[in-house]
Structure 1
Amino acid sequence: MTGRRRWSTDEILDAAAELLRTSDADSFSVRKLAAVLGTDSSSLYRHFRSKTELLRAVADRILAAAMDDYRPQGDWKQRITALALHVREAFGQQPELAAVWGRYASSGTGSRLAMEEVLHALRTSGLPDEQIPAQYHRITILIAALIASDAGISTITPAEYEQGRELFRVAVLGADPERFPTVAHFARDLRPLGVDRRAAFEQLLAAQLAHIETTI
């Protein structure tokens, strides 16, 4: 009788990433992944101790692949901006994993590569060493939050997106000027969160980097 196939760690991560393309982190389970692979959960727990550890590893592979393609250029602000946009693009192709990364982060190779680049860029900025860890932390939180936010928008269907835009227009343009006078004043100029997100991403990051620059 032939035993069940032994899956490698990379094969398990590939299958998990594919499963996450059609489901979110909350509905994902080791049992579902085991069923896809035609094995039992216990065999997967030999590679990963928990669902969270598995999700972290899957997200980190996306980050590691993005870092492999990244080539630092320009000054410290340009490098951090380019890195952020590069990682955003990588996770944008698999938004469910962007949400996973934003929620769980990781301590894998991809995470360390990104950490090394941001810390190195900050060190070349002239910022005193004692201030670098705190500024690194703020930059990382901002980037992760923006990327995870993008993921939330990109996972909805076109129909859901249009429905949301219509609800936004009704809520804003139909706001009672007596109860919401400021909303009513700006109503025709306000836009839904899903509009022009790339520009907002770059502007928010640029503002944080400019703030750092003023402290140097």
Structure 2
Amino acid sequence: MATTRAGSGRVRRRPTRSGVILEPEMIIDAALRLIEAPGGNALTVRRLGVELGADPSAIYRYFRDLDALLIAIADRLIGETLAGFVPGPDWADSLRDMARRVHDSMLRHPRLAQLRAIRFTAGPNELRVDDIGIGLLLSAGFSAPDAVRHFGDFIDAVLALAAMDAAELAPGQEEADKRALAKVYATFPDEDYPHLAAVRPHLRQITASPFPGVLDKLIAALSEAVPRSSH
């Protein structure tokens, strides 16, 4: 992958203090454990060296810097998202399945959700997602430029929604916010907010995840945009 130096033939694989030969995947595994450690992200180069039983500077023989390591981790998680995914005959169903897998993965790894939503990895797994997604839209009948543009819009929306759902809040904060909002919805004066008053019984839906509904709308919009000659 573009962000590592592994596989170039120039990396000297010397044993660590514990006698273990470092590999990029081993470093990624250890970094992911530190990121997801109880109590908060504990990833630093020093702690990573301790976790691996290696001099911290050894990490730089495999990754340019800590940012490059984070990008490699993000690409690894994209690969896990696609594990077992096989596009079916219906492009819309396949795209929906891909989106749900991305969303589920972001919820499993919330501390990396924002990174994954805003950065490109340029790694093999990101390229594979793009290849599959654009291929699905090409199979639907979109032209090459439209397939690229629509898939970019689609996957960015999915990532943004997933990052929102994955955002870590202080313990109990989400439920406290929902209770406070429910109290406001139940007590605001009808004359001040007449339109909200008209839909008061349904306002609790606002606190639900927007992901399912927006995903439906995205797929519907794409289906409507398919060139007529392809129907």
TM exceeds 0.5? yes
Shift of 1:11: 1.1
Shift of 1:40: 4.2
Residue 58 (structure 1) aligned with residue 73 (structure 2): yes
Residue 125 (structure 1) aligned with residue 140 (structure 2): yes
- The answer as to whether partners of 2:79 and 2:125 remain within 8 angstroms in 1 is yes
More helix by share: 1
Aligned length: 212
> RMSD of the TM alignment (CA)?
2.8
Shift of 1:112: 0.9
Percent of aligned pairs sharing the same letter = 23
Residue 171 (structure 1) aligned with residue 184 (structure 2): yes
Q: 1:97 aligns with which of 112, 115, 126?
A: 112
List alignment gaps of at least 5 residues for structure 1: none
Residue 182 (structure 1) aligned with residue 195 (structure 2): yes
Rounded to whole Å, the distance in 1 between the matches of 2:192 and 2:54 is: 59
Q: 1:10 aligns with which of 4, 25, 39?
A: 25
Pair member with larger Rg: 2
Q: CA distance change for structure 1 residues 209 and 44 in 2, over 3 Å: closer, same or farther? A: same
Structure 1 residue matching 2:63: 3-state secondary structure? coil
Rounded to whole Å, the distance in 1 between the matches of 2:97 and 2:49 is: 38
Rounded to whole Å, the distance in 1 between the matches of 2:139 and 2:113 is: 29
If the length of structure 2 is used for normalisation, what is the TM-score?
Answer: 0.77
Shift of 1:65: 2.2
- The answer as to whether partners of 2:161 and 2:211 remain within 8 angstroms in 1 is no
Residue 148 (structure 1) aligned with residue 184 (structure 2): no
CA offset digits 1:84-113 (Å, max 9, x no partner): 112222333222233321132311111011
Rounded to whole Å, the distance in 2 between the matches of 1:97 and 1:195 is: 22
Q: Show structure 1 runs of 4+ deviating over 6 A.
A: none
If the length of structure 1 is used for normalisation, what is the TM-score?
Answer: 0.81
Matched residue, 1:87: 102
Rounded to whole Å, the distance in 1 between the matches of 2:62 and 2:35 is: 18
